[in-house]
Structure 1
C-alpha cells in the first residue's frame, strides 16, 4: 500500500484573514540617524532594467542581466505638525500636537478640524477645562517627560484630491528629534532625505482585494473527484465529536485586501528624470510619472495607485541571486 501523504494546504502565518482596517499603511521606523525613517509613496507599475551583475556566486557574474523592478512615485511630503509622545500605563500616549501656522487646502478634506470653526460654547468649555495648547517651547521645557517626537505629514500626489496622512519617525536623541522637527515644520520631506540608492527596505501595503472566495482558490486545497456531490469543497471539516470546526480548517471567506509587509527590498534607483521612465502612453491605469520616483527590485504588494509605506530594513539581509551594481538602462513599456 502506498504511503499516505497530505501536506497542509495554505499558510497559518496570516490569521485572521480579514479586510484591512484602513488603506493607508502605517509603519514605525527604527534607527539612530537624525533623519526621517519611513516614507509614503504610490505604486505605478512594473518594468525591467538592464545592469551588470556583481554577485560573485551567480552564474551570470560580471554579465549584463535584465531584472524586474517596481516603479513607485515619491512626491514630496508636507510636514503640517509635530507630535510628542509620553509614557503611559501601557506603552506610549500622545502628549500633544503642534501644528504649522499654514496648511494645504486639500488637507481639509482629510482632517475636519482644520475647516470646522469652534462654537462659543466649545470655546467656553475649553477655558473651563483649562486645556493647554502646547508650543515647541513647551516641548523643550517638558523634555524630561517626553519619550520621542514624530512628524505629522501628508502626501501631495497630483492624482489624488484627498491626501494620505501619516507619522514620520525620526532617529537620534530626543533633543536631536526636536531640533529636526523645528527645522522641518511647514516644509517638505523628499525620499532623498530618507533613503539612498542601494538601501534595503521593508515595504508595507494593503494587497489586491479578491472578495469572498472558496477554499480551493483561498487555500489551494485539492478538488474532489468528478462524481462527488461537490468538487470545490473540503472533504471533511471535522468529526461529529467534538462538534466544532477547528480554526485551521480551510473555509470560504475574504481573500485579499490584507495588510502585508515584505522585507529586504533593494532600492536600485532614485531619480527625478521622468523622461527615462515615461513612455508615450504612460503606465497602464496610472498615466505619466511626475516628479521623483524610485525603482525597487522585484514586486511590491498592492494595486496600482495604492499607497505604500517604506522604511529601512530592521533585519537587513543581503539579497541573494542577482545584484546590480547600477541601473544602466530602463526598458520602457
Structure 2
C-alpha cells in the first residue's frame, strides 16, 4: 500500500511572511466604473458589536427571519482631496507627468509631506490642461488625506493616499477632479447601505514566532532529544540547501491583508447610535460618521482600513439596504 501522507501544514499563499512596509495599505488594482466617482475611502476601526437584522438573502432557511449578525464598527470622518495627479505612458509603464495641489492645505498635512513654500498653482493647472488637450495624459487620479483629528484616534498626522477615479475618458475625469480639488468627501458619497466593498488593512503584529504558531507544524513527542517546538528536518542531503517551503521561525503578523465583498449594513452620521456604554475598548467614543460592516476586519483598533469598490462582484446577493432592528450598545468594559 502507498504510504499515507498528511496535508501540508501552513499555506504558502502569503509567503514570504514579512512585515508590511508601512501601516498604510497599498492598493495595486482597481475596478472599472462608467461614471466619474471615487473608487475608495478610508476609515478607522473602532471595534465590534452585534446587530439583529432581517435576513434578506434569497434561498436561505432563515430568509425573512430575524438573525444575529456580528459587525465591525468603523469611524469614517470626511477625507480632503488635496491634489490631482496626471499619469502618462513611459518605457517602464506609467509615469507621473504633472500635479495640481489645492490652495488651502491643512496645517497637519506638513506632518506627512513637505509642503512647498513657493508654489505656482496656475502654472501647474495650465500644464495639466495642456497634457489633457494634447492627449498625453493616460489616466488622472486624486491624492487625498485623512483627518484623524475628527475621530477618537489619538494622533494628528494624516495618512496620504492615492485614489483612482472612475470614468470612461480622461477628459471626463479631468472635469470631475477640478470640481473635487480642495473639497471634503464623505463616505456616503462613495458607498451606500447594502453595497459591498473590498477592505485592506495591516493585521495585528505578533513579533518573532516559532514554526508551531507561525505555520502550524506538529509539536514533537516528549522523547525528542532537543527542542519539541521546531521543524524535524530542514532539508535532505540532496539538494543540499534549505527550500523556501520549509516552515521556519520569523515574523508573525503585521502583514497586509485584503478581504473581498464585505457588506455595508449601515452608514450613519451620529456616532452615539453605535457607541457602547463607556466607549469601545482601546478606542473610546465614535464622534463622526460611522459604518457597520458585516463580519470582522483585519487589524487592531485605531488602525486605518481602506475601502475599495468591489473587484469580484457577487451575483444573486441582496444589494438593497437591510432592515436592522437592534444594535447592541451594552458596555464592553467587563465586570
Task: Calculate the TM-score normalised by the size of structure 1.
Answer: 0.90
Where does residue 333 of structure 2 map in the other structure? none
- 2:39 matches 1:37: yes
Correspondent of 2:293 among 291, 296, 303: 296
Where does residue 22 of structure 2 map in the other structure? 22
The alpha-carbon distance between structure 1 residues 134 and 205, as it changes in their structure 2 partners (threshold 3 A), is farther
The whole-number CA distance in structure 1 between the counterparts of 2:11 and 2:301 is: 26
Q: What whole-Å deviation, never above 9, does each CA across 1:225-264 have from its counterpart, x for those lacking one?
A: 0111221011111112221111001000011001111111
Instruction: Report how far residue 317 of structure 1 moved.
Output: 1.9
- 2:163 matches 1:168: yes
The alpha-carbon distance between structure 1 residues 328 and 318, as it changes in their structure 2 partners (threshold 3 A), is farther
Instruction: Report how far residue 285 of structure 1 moved.
Output: 0.4
- 2:243 matches 1:232: no
- Number of aligned residue pairs: 319
Correspondent of 1:96 among 92, 98, 106: 98
- 2:328 matches 1:331: yes
Where does residue 13 of structure 1 map in the other structure? 13
Q: Which runs of 5+ in 1 are unaligned?
A: 124-130
Three-state SS of the structure 2 residue aligned to 1:221 is: coil
- 2:148 matches 1:157: yes
Correspondent of 2:112 among 110, 113, 127: 110
Correspondent of 1:258 among 255, 260, 264: 255
Q: What whole-Å deviation, never above 9, does each CA across 1:53-102 have from its counterpart, x for those lacking one?
A: 12233222221001001111111001111111111112201111111111
- 2:48 matches 1:55: no
Q: What whole-Å deviation, never above 9, does each CA across 1:157-195 have from its counterpart, x for those lacking one?
A: 123210000012111121121111111111101111111
Instruction: Report how far residue 152 of structure 1 moved.
Output: 1.2
- 2:127 matches 1:138: yes
Instruction: Report how far residue 134 of structure 1 moved.
Output: 4.5
Q: Which runs of 4+ in 1 moved over 6 A?
A: none
The whole-number CA distance in structure 1 between the counterparts of 2:40 and 2:55 is: 29
* Maintained 8 Å contact 2:211/2:231: yes
The whole-number CA distance in structure 2 between the counterparts of 1:219 and 1:33 is: 44
Correspondent of 2:84 among 62, 82, 107: 82
* Maintained 8 Å contact 1:48/1:331: yes
The alpha-carbon distance between structure 1 residues 259 and 319, as it changes in their structure 2 partners (threshold 3 A), is farther
Q: Which runs of 5+ in 2 are unaligned?
A: 331-335
The alpha-carbon distance between structure 1 residues 325 and 69, as it changes in their structure 2 partners (threshold 3 A), is same
The alpha-carbon distance between structure 1 residues 87 and 318, as it changes in their structure 2 partners (threshold 3 A), is same
The whole-number CA distance in structure 2 between the counterparts of 1:218 and 1:233 is: 11
Where does residue 221 of structure 1 map in the other structure? 217
Instruction: Report how far residue 329 of structure 1 moved.
Output: 1.7
The whole-number CA distance in structure 2 between the counterparts of 1:255 and 1:167 is: 28
- 2:144 matches 1:147: no
The alpha-carbon distance between structure 1 residues 197 and 151, as it changes in their structure 2 partners (threshold 3 A), is same
Q: What whole-Å deviation, never above 9, does each CA across 1:10-68 have from its counterpart, x for those lacking one?
A: 00111211100011113243222211001111111111011011223322222100100
The alpha-carbon distance between structure 1 residues 320 and 7, as it changes in their structure 2 partners (threshold 3 A), is farther
Three-state SS of the structure 2 residue aligned to 1:168 is: strand
The whole-number CA distance in structure 2 between the counterparts of 1:320 and 1:178 is: 34
* Maintained 8 Å contact 2:71/2:292: yes
Instruction: Report how far residue 296 of structure 1 moved.
Output: 0.8
Question: How large is the RMSD of aligned CA atoms in angstroms?
Answer: 2.3
Task: Calculate the TM-score normalised by the size of structure 2.
Answer: 0.90
The alpha-carbon distance between structure 1 residues 74 and 271, as it changes in their structure 2 partners (threshold 3 A), is same
The whole-number CA distance in structure 2 between the counterparts of 1:281 and 1:206 is: 27
